[in-house]
Amino acid sequence: MADDDWAQAVDAQENQITEKVENLKLATGQGDAPAASPSATPSATPSATASAAPEGEEGDAADLATQSLLMKKLHSKLVQTKSDLEVLQKDPNSPLYSVKSFEALNLKPELLKGVYAMGFNAPSKIQETALPTLLADPPSNMIAQSQSGTGKTAAFVLTMLSRVDPTRHYPQCLCLAPTYELALQIGEVTQQMSQFMQVKIGYAVRGERVSRGERLTDHIIIGTPGTVMDWGLKFKAFDLKKIEVFVLDEADVMIATQGHQDQSVRIHRGLRKDCQMLLFSATYDEPVMRFAQAVVRDAVVIRLRREEESLDNIKQFYIMCRDQQEKFQALSNIYGTISIGQSMIFCHTRRTASWLSEQMSKEGHAVALLSGELTVEQRSSVINRFREGKEKVLITTNVSARGIDIEQVTVVVNFDLPIDQKGNPDCETYLHRIGRTGRFGKSGLAINMIDSDRNLHNLKKIEAHFGKKIYHLDAEDMDEIEKITS
Ligand SMILES: Nc1ncnc2c1ncn2[C@@H]1O[C@H](COP(=O)(O)OP(=O)(O)OP(=O)(O)O)[C@@H](O)[C@H]1O
């Protein structure tokens, strides 16, 4: 949809629902705005406690945001990738620069010092190509996509900090994130990187207020769309026309969050045409691209492909069972017969996952349970313990484990097959769950527990989809079980 169409649609919607939205805003907790209070002022660092995922079992917008936050917290190190970088620019003939060092970017010395203080020695793969373009003059717009942990946040924070003028005391950079917690994470990175600069960061998130007539003196505003819209458009606490860099982070999560698209487009319309617009996303599909095109014109597009997952090094089996109890029995036989390093077991619901974890613990297995009712902090601690090998078995639902990479896992058990909302086999999730067990030349093992004709039918569909045989395994036959690892 063209920018103007978007704008018209947004206006029409705005006229119809202004009042309803006001009411809704007060009612929703997720990353949105309180009404302005006449007295309070925004503090520099609001305290945050990450919330647990909502009750629903499969992913909704809030859950996507929780996943993103978890990823951010887990990535204490850069994800190194060998995958290809794809660059699309308006003028394919214009030269593309790439840098191998931060010095080559001619950063302000105090910013360079901050980058090194964070332990960054050299730019990551996406930063090598993105940063020269991001920092060049006149500024270019950019759409950048790459998986979590590859250095996107650091790239746009560096861009904001290199463009900000700390001697001018008004907001010059604006960064939108889908939730309160994600905004705070970006703020933390900004604070660290600017530790040798005199830069003030303001958080336009729920719980932070501006008083009527107040003019913000922060240099960088990081916030959620609803609050930013209120501060910028309704209360005029800062001038959108003075923003030099506008960042939309987590575009894919943003899209899934009700109302954020419209609010972002409205904020965008208040900016100057020559404001540098940047959009970052971990995925790059139709809705993300439509959103991107609505807010970022003539952008250089940089994409880092995800490393391919394949089933080539993975032996796949299925076991027929009558019911859940029998599935557990079969699992017990397998764990009792072959020596398994670390394994992940996927269940369809939280209830099954916690039941199974209880049963396995009773049998003496060191089991970790990763489940949706844990807070982000608790989840990242479960994952870190498992990574360190403190537990050998990680039992989880699909939602809780989405996108989590644990390289040392060699066995994946589908206690329940992955299915989509219509009950059809979810081949992509199947590949994603087990594809990582056979990476880097290691051989992996995938075991599927089947307890109905429907499941068997789904399994056959998965088999046909990938063109890779899934062998039947008799869980009562110990000799046969022993052979699966040979
Ligand atoms: N050039 C670099 N050298 C070393 N570490 C880096 C570099 N750039 C980023 N990192 C670190 O790598 C981790 C991931 O970086 P970053 O958060 O920027 O990635 P991201 O792609 O934005 O991930 P997410 O989408 O989860 O936010 C962070 O711990 C960050 O401090």
**For the CA of 154, the nearest atom of ligand 1:** 18
DSSP secondary structure string, 327-360?
HHHHHHHHHHHS--SEEEEEESSHHHHHHHHHHH
Q: Is 127 in the pocket of ligand 1 (CB under 6 A)?
A: yes
Q: What would the two tokens of residue 101 be?
A: 């060092």
Domain 311-484 in CATH 3.40.50.300: yes
Contact in structure between 85 and 301 (CB atoms under 8 Å): no
Q: How many CB atoms lie within 10 A of CB 88?
A: 11
- Per-position pLDDT tens, the chain of length 486: 444 444 444 334 434 433 333 333 333 333 333 333 333 333 444 433 333 333 333 345 667 777 778 777 776 677 666 667 778 776 666 666 788 899 999 999 999 999 999 999 999 989 999 999 999 999 999 999 988 788 999 999 999 999 999 999 999 999 999 988 889 989 999 999 999 999 999 999 988 989 888 999 999 999 999 999 999 999 999 999 999 999 999 898 888 777 898 999 999 999 999 999 999 998 878 888 888 888 898 999 998 776 666 788 889 999 999 999 999 999 999 988 888 888 999 999 889 999 999 999 999 988 999 887 788 788 888 888 888 889 999 999 876 666 666 777 889 999 999 998 888 999 888 888 887 676 555 678 999 999 999 999 999 999 999 999 999 999 888 888 888 877
Phi-psi region of 270 (alpha: psi -120 to 50; beta: other; left: phi over 0): alpha
Check if 60-304 and 311-484 are the same fold.
yes
Q: Is 74 in the pocket of ligand 1 (CB under 6 A)?
A: no
- CA count, 13 A, side-chain hemisphere, 189: 23
Q: Is 346 in the pocket of ligand 1 (CB under 6 A)?
A: no
Round to whole Å and give the CA distance between 79 and 124: 9
* Smallest CA separation from ligand 1 atom 15, residue: 151
Q: Is 120 in the pocket of ligand 1 (CB under 6 A)?
A: yes
Domain residue ranges of the chain, discontinuous segments joined by +: 60-304, 311-484
Q: Is 129 in the pocket of ligand 1 (CB under 6 A)?
A: no
* Continuous segment of H or E residues that includes residue 185: helix 180-193
**φ, ψ for residue 428, nearest 5 deg:** -65, -45
Provide the residue type at 466 as one letter.
F
**For the CA of 124, the nearest atom of ligand 1:** 1
Torsion from C-alpha of 158, 162, 167, 171, nearest 10 degrees: -60
Q: Is 78 in the pocket of ligand 1 (CB under 6 A)?
A: yes
Mutate to test the pocket of ligand 1, among 85, 105, 107, 124 (most ligand atoms within 8 A of CB): 124
Q: Is 123 in the pocket of ligand 1 (CB under 6 A)?
A: yes
Contact in structure between 187 and 46 (CB atoms under 8 Å): no
Give 80 Cα–ligand 1 centroid separation in angstroms: 10
Instruction: Look up the CATH superfamily of 60-304.
Output: P-loop containing nucleotide triphosphate hydrolases (3.40.50.300)
Angle at 247 between CA 242 and CA 252, to 5 degrees: 150
CA distance to 45, 146, 290, per residue, from 252 (Å): 26, 11, 11
